[in-house]
Structure 1
């Protein structure tokens, strides 16, 4: 939906291809920033796009998808017959689908449990998909839960074939076009489009085409891979641990003899200059100088950290440029 939206803004509403490289796992707490970048068009009018994300408290971006946007789109053709379900299709029991999926890995919330009924005709599957009543579709071309639920036919097919532990997840989309926006119910036709690939056609109850996917290549994943993707600890966080060291109740209190504490009543630079003058005039050279450095806590923590760092650097430079230094600077 992000790619389609970007394409609409750039007069390139057709997703020629979109390859998913890494899953985007949402943390239980906190937020994730998502960034989609569409490049300038090449000589054929095709635009490369990328999708990245990063947790709001980190600075490393992860690339999740790459793709191509174009202005070319096929004219949608509706089904040969408006009959639903199509003649010859037999019902497929979808009862308990989401409980079975949760047992092997993926858990879907209420909004994403949109598969209402399903039918089969040979290798072609059909389904009724609906969002829960009252679901807000504002801002979406096609609501992600609606599109995702259409793909649950793939999982239903695996379960009915006794292959529930062999899940095929979307890997590469090809030829995606959206023709009607803001719908809350669709009828889905899913059929083979090559090895490990399917094609989808989404229509409304009258048979008018809502969206088409020429090809969706699937990639097999294991339950362990799904579990790892849901982890909320980043590789960087895993490097940090808390280590506790026992302290004797009889441990000596460290001496502060030779320490000089600069108060908060005047700028640290001014206080440091006065200390330099005093020591140059013969006052004892301090062993350690403690200087408070603070910044106003605002909404931009990075800016605050930069401010404190600059203040500290200025103090060190002033002290080292002076005539006297502490014997053991800290």
Structure 2
């Protein structure tokens, strides 16, 4: 199955919020994964509601190929109150950080059933210090020729979200599909190479700070939690039953030899079929 990255929902929310002066994503919950069909076109709808007493606006992301809309994500957008961006390490990488082979992350995610195309393979270097993870992430060279249409570039930070698995304290070994994010703030745009710091923010929750190569803040997430999603829900979201290669098959049965009366005819036969539902 090809899934729309959870980070793309964050980009959709931030883009919608910008049109209403809401530059902070206060909260986002990914309820259902969006499985991209092989041939059909997916329609997306982002709905933003009116402001509450504190200036927050609810939003919801829907999709459909045909028929009814499916809700995938929802949360709250808020204006202002950015405050000072999180500080980034003055020395990169930190002197006491231990380098980690990035192939370890690829192996970990492959064991969980995830595969990434070239556009999402931008993790170049990684280090670990206690329960913190430090990353060098860049857009692949072939992706830099065309300026990105999105501001925070989901391709550039999908890997940092998954890289929390490198932390020694990471206890989440299930497939992290369902996301819960709190206070996502976009500080700058246009960066194609970023330095990322992941640090614990609670049980199975990490905070993420992204900066460019000179330390200017790019993106901050106060809390990111990855929740396991049952495989059956993925199958249901992907419509696997409707796409399966079912077929109707008739099996000829001989007429019982004891058949008598007006219903019995020479050469008559019976047929039976089984419902696949």
TM range (shorter): 0.7 to 0.9
Label 1:226 to 1:152 Cα distance change in 2 as closer, same or farther (>3 A). Answer: farther
| Equivalent position of 2:158 in the other structure | 148
Change (3 A) 1:44 1:82: same
Deviation per residue, 1:195-240 (Å, 9 max, x gap): 1211000011111110100111221346x4586377453x6x3799
The structure with the largest strand share of the pair is 2
TM-score (norm 2): 0.77
Residues 230 and 100 from structure 1, CA distance in 2 versus in 1: closer, same or farther, beyond 3 angstroms? farther
- SS of the aligned residue for 2:163 comes to helix
Q: Please provide the CA RMSD for this pair.
A: 2.8
User: Which residue of structure 1 aligns with residue 135 of structure 2?
Assistant: 127
Listed as ranges, the matches of 1:1-330 within 5 Å are 1-55=11-65, 58-72=66-80, 73-79=82-88, 81-135=89-143, 136-157=146-167, 165-169=173-177, 171-221=179-229, 224=231, 228=235, 231-233=238-240, 237=242, 242-245=247-250
Q: Which runs of 5+ in 1 are unaligned?
A: 248-330
Please give the alpha-carbon distance, in whole angstroms, between the structure 2 residues aligned to 1:132 and 1:18: 28
> CA distance change for structure 1 residues 226 and 96 in 2, over 3 Å: closer, same or farther?
farther
Equivalent residues of 1:201, 1:213 under 8 A apart: yes
Q: Distance in 2 between matches of 1:246 and 1:95?
A: 53
Q: Summarize the Cα distance change of 1:213–1:15 in structure 2 as closer, same or farther, 3 Å threshold.
A: same
Structure with max Cα Rg: 1
65-74 or 92-101, larger mean C-alpha shift = 92-101
Q: Could you say what secondary structure the match of 1:98 adopts?
A: helix
Q: State TM-score, norm by structure 1.
A: 0.66
Counterparts of 1:27 and 1:41, CA distance in 2:
35
Gaps of 5+ in 2: 1-10, 253-277
Distance 2:68 2:147 in 1: 31
How far is the alpha carbon of 1:99 from its aligned partner? 4.3
Q: Is the 8 A contact 1:129 1:146 kept in 2?
A: yes
Deviation at 1:124, TM superposition (A): 0.8
Higher helix share: 1
Larger relative contact order (Cα-Cα within 8 Å, sequence gap ≥ 6): 2
Of the structure 1 ranges 123-132 and 89-98, higher mean CA displacement relative to structure 2 is found in: 89-98
Partners of 1:7 and 1:204 in 2: CA distance? 23
Secondary structure of 1:151's match?
A: helix
Does structure 1 retain, via aligned residues, the 8 Å contact 2:112–2:174?
Answer: no
Cα distance, 1:45–1:125 mapped onto 2, change above 3 Å:
same
Shift of 1:193: 0.4
